[in-house]
Structure formats: structure tokens, C-alpha cells
């Protein structure tokens, strides 16, 4: 007897799904994760990691299962086990303390964040007061401000901060930015600063990293043609949160941040015919595929990928892990 044919649900609503390109892991995130993985291979478990290596719950949970132990401070680490510093960077006091305790430490700071640190030190050495555009409490901002003595850097979070900032007496000014900011928001803040302080010099290169910029440009294209945009990423991921904001400004009727497919509220899809999907720089592609699979299970989805930039940037691992 021939098998019973599968029942086709002709009631499923058509859905156009566009995937942003580029999306997901950037070179700095990929490098940081590899550093933890290689350290576990070379030294065995446990390997300690100061703060989340990158801001993604699924990545952190997977590394925990492999033997990584995530801690808040070096005080939580034993002297005789390796410790990895997160991709966001750390204040200078952290590696100094690790050296004083003769710890084996591996610095997974993104090279583009390290570039901002070097830039801040150069400005300080030249006698300039530094305006750091960024978000208070973000690990990257804490790390950058911790490169210099207290008072050497003023944090500027908003246009309002730029308008009310009081220059230290006779101090020439410079600025730097957190690497994961909204390009458009940062431009507004810079415009306010330049209006008040026309002599303010430009950085050598744009501090907002290539991956943040590329992902924001890609989601702008999605937002302009999508009823709904889903951004795969964690709530504590600055670049992921910015993607939601950029999608909404670009014209998406709605945009939501989800850690994974399980967080999708299907009520968001009422009346939706076109869906855009992207992922923050610390979100694995497997989570994006999970979202696509969930959408395809409920709708008659036609999935395509935008013809966006193809990133080829890679960063070298620490020599101690490749020898």
C-alpha cells in the first residue's frame, strides 16, 4: 500500500524573508571566541574569562560547557589557571594586577578597540582632554577610560551632553568613540561638538568599527522594505540594540531583538508580508538559521539573501596559542 501523501496546508500565508548581508560574527568576536577555545585545548579546563567574552548568551553557555569559567573580576580567579580578558577591552589596572600575581593571561581585546586605546593615549600624551562618545557602564567604555588617569576623559553620551560640556581651562580637545555606536547618532553628537569647538581634531580613522558600520548599512536596506525586522542578538549587546533602532528609523513598521527563535512573539507577524532578518556581531549564524526555520514552519516563506558586502577581515591569534 503506497504511503499516505503529506497534508499540504494551503492556508499558510505567503511571507517574503530577506537576510541581511553582512550579519553575525565579526573578526574581533571570532578571534575572541577562538582564544578561549584554543586556551581550553592547550591548558585544559578550567580557563577563566573576565566578564563575558562577547555579549551573547548562547556563545557564553557553549564555552561554559567546554570548561570556561566566567567571572567578574580577577579576584575571582586562582593564580595558577589561565585567564582571558574579554573582547571589549579592560582598564590598564587589570593586566597590571595579573602580572603582579604572575598569572598567565590572554588578551582577547578586539584590535579595533585596542586602536582606540592607543589613540586615547596619544591624545593624552599631547596634552589634550579627551571626549569619549559612548554609553556609561559598557565594558568597552570602562576599558577605554581606564587607560588614562581619572579626569583625563569626559564621557559624552548624548547631544545634550555635547551641548553642556564645560572645557577644562586652556585644555585642547580631542575625541574618540565606542566602536559599537549608531553611526547616525554619533554623527549628531559630533556635529554638536564641532559647532561648539570648531578646532576639535578628527581621529586618524573612524572609531566605529567596520563591522558595526556594515551591519547598520545592511539593516537600513532591510528596514526600508520590511514590515518587520528581527535582529538576532542579546539585550546586552550594544551593536545588536543599535540594529533595532536603525531598522526602525529606516522605515520598518516594527523591529525586535531576539536571542533565538524561542523568543519570537508570533503576534508580531499580524499583517506582516515582508520580514527582514539580521544578527548582531556576536550572534552565531546557527541562531539566524533557527529563526528562519521557525518562520518557514509557520508561513509559506520565500527566503533570499541581500547582495551586500562580503567581509574578509581576520585578526591574528596570540602567538602563545599558535606556537
* Inter-CA distances, 4 with 1, 8, 11, 12, 255, Å: 9, 12, 20, 21, 41
- 3-class DSSP state of 163: helix
- 3-class DSSP state of 186: helix
Q: Are 33 and 70 in contact (CB under 8 A)?
A: no
Q: Are 271 and 246 in contact (CB under 8 A)?
A: no
Active site residue 119: no
Q: Is 205 exposed, middle or buried (0-12, 13-18, 19+ CB in 10 A)?
A: exposed
Q: How many CB atoms lie within 10 A of CB 96?
A: 10
Q: What DSSP string runs through 100-153?
A: HTT--EEE---HHHHHHHHHHHHHHHTT-EEEEES-TT-HHHHHHHTTS-TTSE
Cell 537600513 identifies what position? 220
Q: Are 264 and 230 in contact (CB under 8 A)?
A: yes
Rounded distance between C-alpha atoms, residue 273 and residue 193, angstroms: 42
Q: Are 276 and 252 in contact (CB under 8 A)?
A: yes
Phi, psi (5° rounding) for residue 90?
Answer: -135, 155
Pairing of strands 300-305, 105-107: unpaired
User: Among 37, 119, 140, 302, which one carries the catalytic annotation?
Assistant: 140
Kind and range of the H or E run holding 86:
none
User: What residues are labeled active site?
Assistant: 140
Amino acid at each position: 500500500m503506497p504511503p499516505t501523501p503529506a497534508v499540504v496546508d494551503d492556508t499558510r500565508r505567503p511571507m517574503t524573508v530577506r537576510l541581511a548581508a553582512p550579519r553575525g560574527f565579526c573578526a574581533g568576536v571570532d578571534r575572541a571566541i577562538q582564544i578561549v577555545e584554543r586556551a581550553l585545548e592547550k591548558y585544559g579546563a578550567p580557563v577563566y574569562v573576565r566578564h563575558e567574552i562577547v555579549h551573547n548568551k548562547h556563545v557564553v553557555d557553549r564555552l561554559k560547557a567546554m570548561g570556561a569559567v566566567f567571572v567578574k573580576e580577577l579576584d575571582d580567579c586562582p593564580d595558577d589557571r589561565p585567564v582571558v580578558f574579554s573582547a571589549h577591552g579592560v582598564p590598564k589596572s587589570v593586566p597590571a594586577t595579573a602580572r603582579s600575581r604572575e598569572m598567565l593571561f590572554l588578551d582577547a581585546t578586539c584590535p579595533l578597540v585596542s586602536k582606540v586605546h592607543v589613540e586615547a593615549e596619544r591624545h593624552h600624551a599631547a596634552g589634550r582632554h579627551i571626549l569619549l562618545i559612548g554609553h556609561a557602564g559598557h565594558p568597552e567604555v570602562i576599558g577605554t577610560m581606564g587607560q588614562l588617569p581619572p579626569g583625563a576623559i569626559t564621557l559624552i553620551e548624548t547631544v545634550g551632553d555635547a551641548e553642556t560640556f564645560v572645557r577644562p581651562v586652556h585644555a585642547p580637545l580631542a575625541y574618540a568613540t565606542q566602536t559599537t555606536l549608531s553611526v547616525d547618532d554619533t554623527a549628531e553628537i559630533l556635529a554638536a561638538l564641532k559647532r561648539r569647538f570648531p578646532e576639535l581634531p578628527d581621529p586618524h580613522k573612524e572609531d566605529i568599527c567596520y563591522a558595526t558600520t556594515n551591519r547598520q548599512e545592511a539593516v537600513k536596506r532591510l528596514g526600508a522594505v520590511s514590515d518587520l525586522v528581527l535582529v538576532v542578538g542579546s539585550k546586552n549587546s550594544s551593536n545588536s540594540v543599535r540594529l533595532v533602532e536603525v531598522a526602525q528609523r529606516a522605515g520598518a513598521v516594527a523591529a525586535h531583538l531576539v536571542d533565538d527563535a524561542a523568543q519570537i512573539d508570533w503576534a508580531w507577524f499580524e499583517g506582516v508580508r515582508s520580514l527582514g532578518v539580521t544578527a548582531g556581531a556576536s550572534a552565531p549564524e546557527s541562531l539566524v538559521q533557527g529563526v528562519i526555520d521557525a518562520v518557514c514552519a509557520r508561513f509559506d516563506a520565500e527566503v533570499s539573501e541581500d547582495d551586500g558586502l562580503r567581509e574578509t577581515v581576520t585578526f591574528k591569534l596570540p602567538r602563545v596559542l599558535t606556537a
